[in-house]
Structure 1
């Protein structure tokens, strides 16, 4: 004759593994961030400055980072009011592991252009690499407050929620938004499929 207490224990175990798991999926709180203020002055950039900056960016796109770094540094020396020059140097610094320099250049880009989604996005990724996940969350959210269609910030926020904070439902929302904005991305689509499986296993 079977033991009723064993049956009850078995039922409780099954419920824990299947039916009630959705309640255990963490959700992100509502994070309130203010839209950054507009810069107080209009940035006046000469035609020469625009041309030199465009040439430096072309070097980046041609995968010539050393030449691009020298060109961007020259742009800053000659035209110190161009935010993109600081931001692109910050990206080079980030990829080479010079995080302090990258942070300084990102801050300068934001000083010149406070409503700068790309700068907030890089700021968030710097914070994420430092293990400062709350600050990373805030920075990505600021990027999206500036421009909700800025796809890289949706992707980075999804990664932060998925891998680092385990806010899976919220991560799914941002993966989906990223794919809506960019079209098909096989790697991200696979990440989303894997996340959906994990949510389903957890009862969500």
Structure 2
């Protein structure tokens, strides 16, 4: 990706740190100017719909989950956190058979497949998760990330939009879509609306995103002045 100025390069460094990408330097501290701008952004136009925040459909799901299923899932997640992916995969795979109405085990299997470089299996697991629960916002976001990494930017954008169709107030989908539009699609004005939407959904302003907003506003103003 080509950058035209130093600020864009620094901004890419910040985004890399936020996304957990390798071969990226530590993000610099947000500037005081960015902190001042946060207050103005709280009421600025964004991609959030008007009106009160609606409930998250995924969290409103009525699927009955037994105590054993929760315990099995927690055990698998603990194994993942400890880096024991083999054991976690074994338990999660068993859960997909024992609890076919749950999408969560498939999403976490996708995480393991992705970390081990098995992209096709990761995508298949996410598609299975979404076939079970089309409201699983995490599945849409993980799928979009895989698509973005494969250079399928249009498909990634569509996946983020599917998540936002499910729940237009999902902060992480707005942030991820903003990053995609900004860095990969060259749609700064639309990216700005989604960065703001993410920021406006936070209990406390995210200083990193505040810095991105300031930088993007400057770039858009400079482009308009040319």
Scaled by the length of structure 1, what TM-score is found?
0.70
More helix per residue: 1 or 2?
1
Report the counterpart of residue 26 of structure 1 in structure 2. Answer: none
Report the counterpart of residue 53 of structure 1 in structure 2. Answer: 73
Contact 1:106 1:119 in 2 (8 A): yes
Whole-Å separation in 1 of the counterparts to 2:100 and 2:120 = 20
Cα-to-partner distance string for 1:56-111 (whole Å, 9 max, x where unaligned): 23444x45352433432332243333210000111222233321011000011011
Is 1:198 the counterpart of 2:219? The answer is yes
In structure 1, which of residues 111, 117, 123 is the aligned counterpart of residue 137 of structure 2? 117
Q: Quote how far apart the aligned CAs of 1:138 are.
A: 1.1
Equivalence map 1:127-146=2 (5 Å): 127-146=147-166
Report the counterpart of residue 188 of structure 1 in structure 2. Answer: 209
List runs of 5+ in structure 1 lacking aligned partners.
1-41
Is 1:151 the counterpart of 2:171? The answer is yes
Whole-Å separation in 2 of the counterparts to 1:143 and 1:108 = 16
Contact 1:45 1:81 in 2 (8 A): no
Tell which deviates more after alignment, 112-121 or 42-51. 42-51
Is 1:74 the counterpart of 2:94? The answer is yes
Q: Quote how far apart the aligned CAs of 1:136 are.
A: 1.1
Contact 1:151 1:178 in 2 (8 A): yes
List runs of 5+ in structure 2 lacking aligned partners.
1-61
Contact 1:65 1:92 in 2 (8 A): no
Report the counterpart of residue 115 of structure 2 in structure 1. Answer: 95
Number of positions where the alignment pairs a residue of Structure 1 with one of Structure 2:
163
Whole-Å separation in 1 of the counterparts to 2:178 and 2:170 = 13
Report the counterpart of residue 180 of structure 2 in structure 1. Answer: 160
Instruction: Specify the SS of the correspondent of 1:152.
Output: helix
Instruction: Specify the SS of the correspondent of 2:224.
Output: coil
**Higher Rg:** 1
Whole-Å separation in 2 of the counterparts to 1:45 and 1:180 = 33
Instruction: Specify the SS of the correspondent of 1:202.
Output: helix
Whole-Å separation in 2 of the counterparts to 1:159 and 1:119 = 18
Whole-Å separation in 2 of the counterparts to 1:63 and 1:185 = 29
